[in-house]
Amino acid sequence: MTIIVTGAAGFIGFHVARALLARGEQVTGIDNLNSYYDPRLKQDRLAELATQDGFHFEQLDFADSAALEAGLAGIDFDRIVHLGAQPGVRYSMENPGAYISANITGHFNLLELARDRKARHFVYASSSSVYGGNTSLPFRVGDPVDHPVSLYAATKRADELISETYAHLYRLPATGLRFFTVYGPWGRPEMAVWIFTQKILDGEPIELFNHGRMRRDFTFIDDIVEGILAALDRPPADDGKAKAGGSVAPHRLYNLGNSRSEDLMRLVSLIEQASGRKAELRPAPIPPGDMVETFADIGAARDELGFSPRTSIETGIPLFIRWYQDYRARRAG
């Protein structure tokens, strides 16, 4: 039976689709290939997926319900991994409408699709940004998340609430995954790991927001994919018992992070070591909507999904830089 993966040309969606194909699943990928970042990177990811048996791709905007229904009309599927979204905290200050369209309307359309097709599991991407200005660390799935500091975070929290409603009203099994700063090969060009690497290699200055006094729970892509597949393979039971996140409907929430909060300067140092270049640093104030620190409590995901991230940034950063240098050389050639 086919699995739908939205955002299949995106960073995490590409890796999840590839892992599902590698274990023999049939995958239909959905993506609108928008220009939030260079669409050529998205096309290159799709070209990699096209080399594997069992992959089918539909270019469409899932915020368009008619296009979504038409694109999937002849496809028999029983699970949805909804990873497509409009990402980015800072861009939500410039183009808020894109977040309402993709992250609210699009999420609703996928839930309606899952309800109509009686999907046996709806797995979706949330974000560590839902914790907003929380100062109690590490972040736990039971922590209050009612004060987002960006529109992006607000849309992700809204997705969780809408999914809870669908699980309650229609008994749709759903699992929301709060990702913590995912990085690795085939990553996103507007993320810190990519930006810092590019600027260090090109001899350009790096802006250090909050004057470098920031910490992130950097999580390697391979660990995230293992967590997503573990969640997909374990739909929540409709048994009236409290789940991770507090729901008694068939709906769970998990943190997927490395469970280590790393200083931003440690990231810079590791990129310098792996690239053999020295960074030029330019301190800057923290942008509106950014969080000073993230740190995941992964106890529930560890206990219930067997989630156990193995990749430290000491290992993961050099892996990313080797991929980045090779990819840039191939593109230049």
Where exactly are the structural domains of the chain? 2-180+221-259+290-310
| pLDDT per residue as tens, the chain (333 positions) | 899 999 999 999 999 999 999 999 999 999 999 999 999 999 999 999 999 999 999 999 999 999 999 999 999 999 999 999 999 888 898 999 999 999 999 999 999 999 999 999 999 999 999 999 888 999 999 999 999 999 999 999 999 999 999 999 999 999 999 999 999 999 999 999 999 999 999 999 998 888 788 899 999 999 999 999 999 999 999 999 999 999 999 999 999 999 999 999 999 999 999 999 999 999 888 888 778 899 999 999 999 999 999 999 999 999 999 999 999 999 887
DSSP at 284:
E
- In sequence order, the 6+-apart residues with CB closer than 8 A to the CB of 120 are 78, 79, 173, 235
pTM: 0.96
At the second CATH level, the architecture of 2-180+221-259+290-310 is: 3-Layer(aba) Sandwich (3.40)
- Which of 152, 166, 183, 324 is flagged as catalytic? 152
Per-residue pLDDT at 104: 98
What is the C-alpha separation between 186 and 23, in angstroms, rounded? 20
Torsion, Cα 125 126 127 132, to 10 degrees, reads 170
Q: Is the CB of residue 217 less than 8 Å from the CB of residue 257?
A: yes
φ, ψ at 206 (rounded to 5°): -105, 130
Q: Are strands 219-220 and 182-183 parallel, antiparallel or unpaired?
A: parallel
152 has catalytic annotation: yes
Can you spell out the DSSP letters for 248-267? SSSEEEEEES-S--EEHHHH
Q: Which residues of 56-89 are buried (b: 16+ CB within 10 A; e: fewer)?
A: ebbebbbbbbebbeebbeeeebebbbbbbbbbbb
What is the C-alpha separation between 24 and 185, in angstroms, rounded? 22
- In sequence order, the 6+-apart residues with CB closer than 8 A to the CB of 160 are 126, 130, 176, 245, 253
The first and second tokens of residue 172, run together, are: 């749709």
Predicted confidence (pLDDT) per residue in 251-268, tens digit: 999 999 999 999 999 999
What is the C-alpha separation between 80 and 121, in angstroms, rounded? 7
